[in-house]
């Protein structure tokens, strides 16, 4: 397919000495108003070099370029150079490229030969996998898919919270009040129950805290009983977590959590000492970061035990040595911003230039409409409960609107889970948002079910066409505004994926999916597809097929399935 942005950059670079080809290419954009053309180049940055007003520069460039075969019109509008592509040729190029590439349309090899680690989800063993975990889990999984789609060698890491003094407390609680059969039947709520009971009892019996510290010390020292119980808690938790991950379609390459780095921390602490980066402070060891505008970072406590920051230092160094990453991404909430600033600065002070390749992809909070959701423990909304409720309500909608749908339980799961995930990824990751189940499940508006329904509608058209004979498509019929809008949107998919990868923003793809669905539905409303004229039908069917392919690709990148019937 002709890359029109590159073609514009090439012809302009031959007439503009003040900018390189790459600089011009980054400025070529899509006008928000389709009447302004398909592509535009702003001339404002040339004003200083040319010593002329942008509108004058644009008019002179129009005269210089003259007629260009690829474009039906080049004109100067308000300081922009606007390019309009021949509608028939544009449609032919885009549609045939989409159909030819299929699942690979929008992909590229920009990440070829580059290793990227993405750490996400990172739930805590023996604690609830609650609704608040959905942000890290789904943003991370989407980025994982986007990076793989662009050719990166990616490693998905679930940095489990499986270490710390809380496990000493849990061991004590289990030995006092635990029932293995009861806990095994419903692990997380039961483990949480005895953990809460420990804290309640410790208020009147402080000796429990000492006992817990003693058990954690045993665990650190490899005591057989402590290790056996810790392994039991971990296995029970992962059984539940993996069930939830299965419903979400989330997978990991590594579950190396905090405990994995326990034997690697002494070397990191010693390295910090050897490089004279630590100093004593009230018996503890710190790295003073005040000269860099940060508060001091605690490396070891008074008793010599390590902290989460120490483990992150050890993990980062291990990953560099083990994977030799080009990029090390952490999908962790905004509340941990200072923590990441601290340890990444320490890596820099240690003399490792790869500190700049460690990236904190932060995100805001999700507020919950608790009244409409099933919860099993106080105000903790278990993510699995939310997903199950969404599937249940979706099945009710299907039974009301399309009771004879085949495999309706499977479809209800695809839509219900997809709705929850889409609502999460449709919001910019840096913003807080409120989750409202009924709004999320709507088949209208900017929702997952709306996009999935549009994909199913396209599949329905294609089923009706069946195995029609090959007919040369008359792409000139795709010159009406509705058809051109679909073609224009299809052409942008690759750019959208690259932008999402550059900004670590899956919502860019989610919003694109809605835009494509909306433009297709306008086209579907305005243009009869199964007409008698075979050449016209062939062109419109090819456009439908293109939309089906790209919607499926976009939905996959934001972790949704694409049902063929709804």
Catalytic residues: 127, 130, 133
Which residue, among 487, 495, 485, 511, has the nearest Cα to 25 in the 3D structure?
495
CA atoms within 13 A on the CB side of 22: 0
Which residue, among 121, 92, 137, has the nearest Cα to 2 in the 3D structure?
92
CA distance 440 to 398: 15
Which residue, among 399, 385, 252, 422, has the nearest Cα to 331 in the 3D structure?
252
CA distance 377 to 270: 43
At 156, list the tokens: 């998905």
What region does 33 belong to: left with phi over 0, alpha with psi -120 to 50, or beta? Answer: beta
The dihedral over CA atoms of 540, 490, 6, 101, expressed in degrees to the nearest 10, equals -80
**SS3 per-residue string spanning 463-490:** HHHCCCCCCCCCHHHHHCHHHHHHHHHH
At 11, list the tokens: 């012809």
**Total number of residues shown for the chain:** 566
**Hey, is 71 helix, strand or coil?**
strand
User: For residue 528, what is the enclosing H or E element?
Assistant: none
Determine the angle formed by the axes of helices 448-465 and 534-557, rounding to 10 degrees.
150
**SS3 per-residue string spanning 144-180:** HHHHHHCCCEEEEECCCECCCCHHHHHHHHHHHHCCH
Which residue, among 399, 415, 565, 426, has the nearest Cα to 508 in the 3D structure?
426
- Alpha carbon separation from 167 to 201, 223, 242, 438 (Å, rounded): 16, 13, 21, 39
At 480, list the tokens: 């009406």
The dihedral over CA atoms of 62, 66, 68, 72, expressed in degrees to the nearest 10, equals 70
Pairing outcome for strands 115-119 and 153-157: parallel
* Rounded (5°) CA angle 546-547-548: 90
Determine the angle formed by the axes of helices 87-101 and 534-557, rounding to 10 degrees.
60
Q: Spell 172-205 as b/e; 16+ CB within 10 A means b.
A: bbbeeebeeeebeeebbebbbbbbeebeeebeee
CA distance 382 to 486: 40
Cβ distance 7 to 21 under 8 Å? no
Helices and strands in the chain: count of H runs, count of E runs: 22, 12
Per DSSP, the residues of 105-124 read: TT---TTTT-EEEEE---PB
């Amino acid at each position: 397919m002709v890359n029109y942005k590159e073609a514009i950059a090439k012809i302009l670079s031959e007439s503009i000495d003040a900018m390189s080809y790459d600089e011009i290419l980054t400025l070529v954009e899509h006008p928000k108003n389709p009447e302004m053309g398909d592509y535009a180049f702003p001339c404002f940055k040339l004003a200083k070099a040319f010593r002329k007003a942008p509108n004058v520069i644009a008019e002179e460039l129009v005269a210089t370029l003259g007629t260009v075969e690829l474009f039906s019109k080049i004109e100067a509008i308000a300081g922009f150079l606007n390019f309009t592509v021949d509608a028939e040729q544009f449609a032919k190029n885009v549609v045939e490229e989409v159909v030819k590439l299929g699942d690979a349309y929008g992909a590229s090899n920009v990440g070829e030969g580059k290793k990227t680690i993405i750490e996400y989800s990172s739930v805590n063993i023996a604690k609830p996998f609650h609704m608040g975990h959905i942000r890290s889990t789904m943003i991370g999984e989407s980025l994982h898919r986007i990076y793989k789609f662009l050719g990166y060698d990616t490693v998905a890491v679930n940095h489990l919270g499986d270490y710390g003094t809380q496990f000493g407390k849990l061991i004590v609680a289990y030995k006092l009040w635990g029932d293995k059969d009861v806990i095994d039947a419903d692990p997380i709520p039961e483990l949480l129950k005895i953990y809460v009971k420990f804290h309640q009892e410790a208020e009147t019996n402080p000796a429990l805290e000492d006992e817990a510290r003693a058990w954690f010390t045993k665990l650190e020292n490899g005591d057989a009983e402590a290790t056996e119980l810790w392994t039991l808690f971990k296995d029970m938790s992962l059984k539940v977590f993996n069930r939830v991950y299965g419903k979400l379609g989330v997978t990991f390459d590594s579950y190396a959590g905090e405990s994995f780095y326990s034997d690697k921390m002494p070397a990191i602490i010693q390295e910090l000492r050897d490089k004279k980066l630590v100093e004593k402070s009230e018996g503890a060891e710190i790295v003073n970061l005040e000269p860099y505008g940060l508060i001091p970072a605690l490396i070891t406590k008074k008793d010599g035990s390590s902290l989460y920051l120490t483990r992150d230092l050890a993990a980062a160094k291990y990953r560099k040595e083990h994977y030799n990453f080009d990029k090390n991404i952490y999908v962790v909430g905004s509340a941990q911003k200072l923590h990441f600033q601290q340890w990444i600065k320490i890596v820099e002070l240690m003399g490792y230039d790869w500190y700049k390749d460690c990236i904190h992809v932060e995100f805001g909070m999700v507020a919950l409409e608790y009244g409409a959701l099933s919860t099993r423990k106080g105000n903790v909304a278990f993510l699995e409960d939310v997903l199950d409720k969404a599937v249940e309500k979706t099945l009710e909608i299907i039974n009301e609107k399309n009771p004879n749908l085949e495999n309706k339980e499977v479809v209800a799961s695809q839509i219900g889970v997809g709705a929850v995930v889409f609502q999460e990824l449709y919001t910019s990751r840096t913003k807080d948002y409120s989750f409202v189940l009924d709004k999320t499940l709507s088949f209208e508006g900017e929702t997952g079910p709306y996009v999935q329904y549009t994909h199913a509608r396209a599949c329905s058209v294609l089923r009706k066409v069946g195995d029609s004979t090959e007919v040369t498509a008359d792409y000139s019929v795709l010159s009406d505004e509705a058809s051109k809008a679909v073609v224009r949107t299809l052409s942008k998919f690759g750019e959208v994926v690259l932008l999402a990868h550059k900004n670590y923003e899956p919502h860019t793809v989610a919003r694109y999916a809605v835009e494509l669905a909306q433009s297709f539905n306008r086209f579907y409303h305005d243009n009869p597809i199964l007409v008698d004229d075979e050449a016209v039908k062939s062109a419109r069917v090819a456009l439908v097929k293109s939309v089906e392919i790209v919607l499926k690709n976009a939905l996959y990148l934001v972790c949704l399935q694409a049902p063929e019937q709804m």
